[in-house]
Amino acid sequence: MQIHLHVGLDKAGSSAIQAHVNLNQNWFHTHGIIIPESGRTGSLGHHDLFKDAKGVFFEPLRKELDDFSRQGFDKVFVSWEGIHFFPMQRLEFIRSQLNGHEIVPLLYLREQSEVIQSGYFQHVKHGRQLLTMEQVLGNQDYLCNDNRDYFALLSKLEAVFGDGSVQIRLYDSDMLCQGNIVLDCLEAVGLTPDANFVLAPNRQNLSLDLVSTRLLNLLDCCFDDPAGREVIVDSLLENINHNGPNGKYFLDQEDQELIQEYFRISNQKVVKHFLNGDHPYPTYFPYKHKTFREPQKFNDNIAFHESIAVLEKLTKIPVWNGSAMHGPSLTQLAKPKSGWRVPEPLGVWSTGSESILRFKILRKSLSPFSQTLRLRIKGKYAKNYDGAWVTVCGIELGKHDLRDNELEIPIAPIRESRTVAIRLGHKPINSNDERKSHDEVDTHRGGLPLTDQSRIYRLEELEYTIG
């Protein structure tokens, strides 16, 4: 079989390709290309297949390929962006595990001065970085890293998988099919999209910008709070999504010229050896964009204050990643002004006949293909109460027993704002039961009557997943 091996380089459209392959798996199947299940990790591509150095997923992959070959299929697509860092030995191991199959590495190459800056933003996005932008400037070890030597990378792949096996495409919107990386990838493997191919309207893997990265640089030098940092990053990305980036590049012009000169010969060799000189640009990349910071076009202080204003909004609607909340921590969502009392060791009691939970979903948790939010809620009712009338973002879901329940909330009405507002209406079973119940006692609350009107439902645990 012919195996299209997408060797995704960082910040070169890999996330978009993998997300669409995951969503359109059946479409690929009906169009003659198999997306194997072995070692596949959803929208992360075939992460587990290639990440595991012992190769435990290759045996089931071979069996899977044999089964599809007997059914008449002859093409396969697999993808992971970590492959381009592999040494020759790891690549030869992949070759040995897929012996008998034709492997065609597919790579999208992005101009080095762009990918270095975008890659740095990506590192800052995903975790604390003590190397600041200022420390990157003029840092030749960082800027001229041989991991960005494309001729060396392509030569290594060709040495393992065979002469003429490597397929390269230019990651440039003007050169991509209809300016779209997903459509271009389909073209690269010989497919044409039809009405049944689902193309997501939004970008995947949104990048930070210059100002948000500068702000995170400052925070990273002073604090180490991964959970809190994740919320800050999410809010900064949301601002970028709605208002556009404040600065795409942070290198000086001298740094840009240093990078382009350092890799010039390597890029020329790519054109000569892998494209037989048949390319409109002798150094492969057109170098038509300025990939350095232009201070005269950018007011640092104004943009920085705008980012601070974004963070101030966090105090209004909390961002929550869905991990389980228990006891007093629930007060992050169950606030006194929204029909809840102060927290107690076992949870937070509602007050009055109505209480509201409000939060925002982490941006990275909500893909364009998400359909349902499943909210797991646990708690305890006063004696006369056995449920609550639930309304989510204006949609009435009816009465639910929230002692231990899972609410299924459609993503569609919350996709744009990512804000979930859950209104709980508390009504007693009947008035007779309400009068009788004043003698009932909750020992966890020091003997207060269960039907105290300010203590109707005690929220004890919340968590959610998205599917």
Q: 329-388: per-residue pLDDT in tens?
A: 998 899 888 999 988 999 999 988 899 999 999 888 887 778 899 999 999 998 888 899
Q: Confidence class of residue 38 from pLDDT cuts 50, 70 and 90?
A: very high
- Average pLDDT across the chain, whole number: 88
Alpha helices in 144-296 (DSSP H): 150-161, 181-188, 210-222, 226-243, 253-262, 264-269
User: β-strand 419-425 against 388-392: which pairing, if any?
Assistant: antiparallel
The reported pLDDT for the residue numbered 445 is 40
For residue 7, the SS3 value is strand
Average pLDDT over residues 51-59: 91
Is pLDDT larger for residue 33 or for residue 307? 33
Residue 326: its pLDDT value, please?
Answer: 93
Pick the CATH number of 2-308 from 3.30.1490, 3.40.50, 1.10.3470, 3.30.450: 3.40.50
Residue 10 has pLDDT above 60, yes or no: yes
Question: In the prediction, which pLDDT does 303 show?
Answer: 65
Nearest to 339 by CA among 325, 326, 357: 357
Given a cut of 60, is residue 438 above it in pLDDT? no
pLDDT at res. 300: 61
pLDDT at 132: 93
pLDDT band of residue 313 (cuts 50, 70, 90) is low
User: How does pLDDT run across 154-198, given as a tens digit for each residue?
Assistant: 999 999 999 999 999 999 988 999 999 999 999 999 999 999 999
Residue type, 79: S
Q: What is the pLDDT of residue 420?
A: 93
Q: Where in the chain is the domain with CATH 2.60.120?
A: 319-466
Lowest mean pLDDT among 84-93, 100-109, 168-177, 302-311: 302-311
pLDDT of residue 142: 95
pLDDT of 450 higher than 70? no
Q: CATH top-level class for 319-466?
A: mainly beta
Pairing of strands 325-326, 102-109: unpaired
pLDDT number for residue 447: 37
**458 strand-pairing partners:** 349, 380
Query: Which is more confidently placed, 312 or 156?
Result: 156
User: What confidence score (pLDDT) does residue 434 get?
Assistant: 40
Extract the tokens encoding 216: 């995170």
pLDDT for residue 448: 40
Q: 183 phi and psi, to 5 degrees?
A: -65, -35
* Mean pLDDT value of segment 135-144: 94
C-alpha–C-alpha distance, residues 411 and 368, integer Å:
10
- Is residue 125 pLDDT above 90, yes or no? yes
* Amino acid sitting at position 85: F
- CATH 3.40.50 intervals, the chain: 2-308
Q: Which residues contact 223 (CB under 8 A, 6 or more apart)?
A: 229
